Amino acid sequence: MGTSPAKLSAQPPNKRRKVTASSVPQTATTATAAPKTVPAAGSKPAAGAPAKAAAPKAAAPKVDEDGLWMIVGLGNPGSNYDDTRHNVGFKVIDELAAAAGIDCRKLEKSAAVGKGELHGKQVLLVKPVTFMNNSGESVAALAKFYRVPPGRVLVVADDLDQPTAQVRLRQRGGHGGHNGLRSIIERMGGTQDFPRIKIGIGRPSGPMPIASYVLQPFSKGEKPEIDTAVQESIVMIKSVLALGLEKAASGHRV
């Protein structure tokens, strides 16, 4: 520490030591090491410096596929919606139920449901009757009641962004603007880790609003293509149950 004022005044005046900046000890703050240089935002690393590896994308959790499967078709209830573009998910469930002899007239958790067996797996066929935008209410309630994890909830829905009658199976994904899928994601706690089959319905060629377009029936020229797409979707569902989701998603079929 530096010489105190008390000590300075105790010395004889003619021998009082002159205090200079050089005679005062350095404080701890001035003795610390210089801070590390932080690169400016957007600056490039020096040549030869190792590149920082990108964080890997999180994989969907592995699911035991031997339990009960929920096969969910999305649509709107009521006969006036039966043949509309938005109800192609319902159409798949109706055709699958008829082929498998499963009665889907029971109402449970705001959905028409039917239990049965397909390719050695127990299935619950589901058609929410909450109207499209609230589909997640019944889907989440049924999944919770039957203890079905998201990975065994297979959803069939229409897709504006695919050409009419194109069918795609995905292991997971976002809602893509589809309000039925959006509702399911929200009601199931935000998870996107459930498989889905999307059937293309195309987009309107003119200025027609999307809300009006999806509630219109398919044209005569589209109906045969959609019928084929429905059967293709049923084959995909059976392939998921018989071969497993990963194989079915990579193109394997029963």
204: number of Cβ within 10 Å:
14
Going by their DSSP bridges, the two strands 121-128 and 69-73 should be labelled as parallel
Return the ∠ at Cα 230 (arms to 135 and 80), rounded to 5°: 55
> Model-level pTM?
0.77
Token pair, residue 55, equals 């964080």
Q: Which of 86, 175, 178, 252 is catalytic?
A: 86
Q: What is the pLDDT of residue 13?
A: 43
Question: Which listed CATH number (3.30.420.10, 1.10.4190.10, 3.30.300.30, 3.40.50.1470) goes with 69-252?
Answer: 3.40.50.1470
Q: What is the pLDDT of residue 160?
A: 97
- Residues 163 and 214: their CA atoms lie apart, in Å, by 14
Q: What is the pLDDT of residue 62?
A: 73
Residue 23's φ and ψ, nearest 5 degrees, are: -90, -5
- Residues 169 and 193: their CA atoms lie apart, in Å, by 13
Q: What is the pLDDT of residue 46?
A: 53
b/e map of 67-93 (b: 16 or more CB within 10 Å)?
eebbbbbbbbbeeebeebbbbbbbbbb
pLDDT in tens, the chain (254 residues): 444 444 434 444 444 444 343 333 333 333 444 444 444 444 444 555 555 555 555 555 677 898 999 999 999 999 999 999 999 999 999 999 999 999 999 999 999 999 999 999 999 999 999 999 999 999 999 999 999 999 999 999 999 999 999 999 999 999 999 999 999 999 999 999 999 999 999 999 889 999 999 999 999 999 999 999 999 999 999 999 999 999 999 999 99
Distances (CA, A) of 236 to 2, 96, 137, 159: 85, 11, 26, 16
Does the active-site annotation cover 252? no
